[in-house]
Amino acid sequence: VKKNGKNGFQFFTPELNAQLHEKIELEGELRKAIERSELLLHYQPQIRTGDSLMVGVEALVRWNHPAKGLLAPGVFIPIAEETGMIYDIGTWVLREACRQMREWHRGGGPLIPVSVNLSAQQFHQPNLVGYIRNILEDTGLDPQYLELEITESMMMDAAVSAEILNELSQFGIRISLDDFGTGYSSLGYLKLLPIDKLKIDRSFITDITMNESDKAIVSTIIAMAHHLKMDVIAEGIETKDQLDILTANKCEEIQGYYFSRPLSATDVEAAFFAPMRI
Ligand code: C2E
Ligand code: CA
Ligand code: CA
Ligand code: CA
């Protein structure tokens, strides 16, 4: 039996049983995914509205499952977080993102940073800075080209997060606040923490052309970021109309399907790099 909030108990149905079975199976397969080289990164370009140049990329993990094909992180990151596998997967993601970026820089690609998503557990792992410094040293990437994406919910303990963020920031790594506006934390921490960039969550963008409240919220976040001397980027731009509203409100960077979906490294090179070498 499974505990159920309202009615007390709920008996396993065959469907629940099958779901549980599938989850356990996936968990076992995920444990082997790294050594079997089944994980890969896609990169979504971040575009400067002024001149449509790619000024950064966000690394987004995928799992090339032997039977199910390419799986989105929503399917396996929660399992990784529940089971502690997120440490190994997160390490692989950081290494691979830094390696790829260094390779691009050496090969004459644009000198842009890579943004990497951190889970709460990774953020709170002991000696995060030393751990990341090792990865940067091993891959040869300069800290200024790494940006870490964290969320408001990781800032709940202001004193603890201030210590971690200050160390990262002093080392030269950039900090971006992901899904901004969806958390429940107070705005007060923005003045205390070394945050370089606000990422406006896609939920405010989806209906922005029709919804005056969303438009007001977005333009206010952009103005606030400017006053606080932070960069600001809007996520989930899918249409020209959405882009026009953001441009009119002086949002300098955007990320979304309108410019590009997340792409394999090869596809980023083909679509966004000036022709290199031969
Ligand atoms: P996120 O960090 O908010 O990443 C943005 C998500 O929105 C990505 O989904 C991206 O493909 C999607 N997206 C981008 N532009 C558009 C758009 O115009 N329209 C729509 N509808 N969607 C858009 P994805 O790749 O499935 O990633 C989902 C989430 O999984 C991420 O949300 C992030 O929280 C998590 N994630 C991805 N990679 C990693 C990772 O390496 N480590 C950790 N801890 N989490 C990751
Ligand atoms: Ca993100
Ligand atoms: Ca986001
Ligand atoms: Ca999100």
DSSP for 109-139 reads: -----EEEE--HHHHTSTTHHHHHHHHHHHH
Tell me the residue type at 167: E
Nearest-CA residue for atom 25 of ligand 1: 60
The answer to whether residues 72 and 236 touch, using CB atoms and an 8 Å cutoff, is no
Residue 212 CA, chain-centre distance (Å), reads 27
Question: How many whole angstroms from 39 Cα to the centroid of ligand 3?
Answer: 20
Contact 23, 3 (CB under 8 A): no
Q: Are 90 and 119 in contact (CB under 8 A)?
A: yes
User: How far, in Å, CA of 210 to CA of 185, rounded?
Assistant: 27
Q: What angle do CA 133, 120, 191 make, to 5 degrees?
A: 80
* CA-proximal residue: ligand 1, atom 8 (nearest): 60
DSSP state at residue 226: H
Q: So what's the pLDDT on residue 185?
A: 74
What are the structure tokens assigned to 45, written together?
């370009």
CB atoms near residue 181 (< 10 Å) = 16
Cα–Cα distance measured from residue 188 to residue 171, given in angstroms and rounded to the nearest whole number: 24
Nearest CA to ligand 1 atom 15: 256
pLDDT in tens, the chain (278 residues): 455 555 556 666 888 888 888 889 999 999 999 999 999 999 999 999 999 999 999 999 999 999 999 999 999 999 999 999 999 999 999 999 999 999 999 999 999 999 999 999 999 999 999 999 999 999 999 999 999 999 998 988 888 999 999 999 999 999 999 999 998 777 888 988 999 999 999 999 999 999 999 999 999 999 999 999 999 999 999 999 999 999 999 999 999 999 999 999 999 999 999 775 54
How many Å apart are CA 107 and CA 276, to the nearest integer? Answer: 8
- Cα–Cα distance for residue pair 218/91, rounded to 1 Å: 33
β-bridge mates for residue 231, sequence order: 197
Of all atoms in ligand 1, which is nearest to the CA of residue 238? 18
pLDDT of residue 4: 57
Rounded distance from Cα 259 to ligand 4 centre (Å): 18
Distance CA 187, CA 170 (A): 23
List, in order, residues 6 or more apart from 53 with CB less than 8 Å away. 47
pLDDT given for residue 6 in this prediction: 57
Q: Which residues line ligand 1 (CB under 6 A)?
A: 44, 60-61, 72-74, 77, 93, 117, 119, 178-179, 236-238, 255-257, 262
72 Cα–ligand 1 center, Å? 8
Name the closest-CA residue to atom 27, ligand 1. 73
Residue nearest atom 44 of ligand 1, based on CA coordinates: 119
Q: What is the ipTM of this complex?
A: 0.98
E-only strand ranges, 137-209: 146-151, 174-180, 197-200
Report how far ligand 2's centroid is from the alpha carbon of 201 (Å): 9
Q: Ligand 4 centroid to 116 CA: how many Å?
A: 13
Nearest ligand by distance to the CA of 201:
3
pLDDT score for 7: 56
- Residue given tokens 């469907």 in the structure block: 15
Q: Do you know the residue count of the chain?
A: 278
Separation CA 249–CA 66 (nearest Å)? 45
This model's pTM is above 0.90: yes
Cα–ligand 4 centroid distance for 179 (angstroms): 6
At 156 the pLDDT is: 83
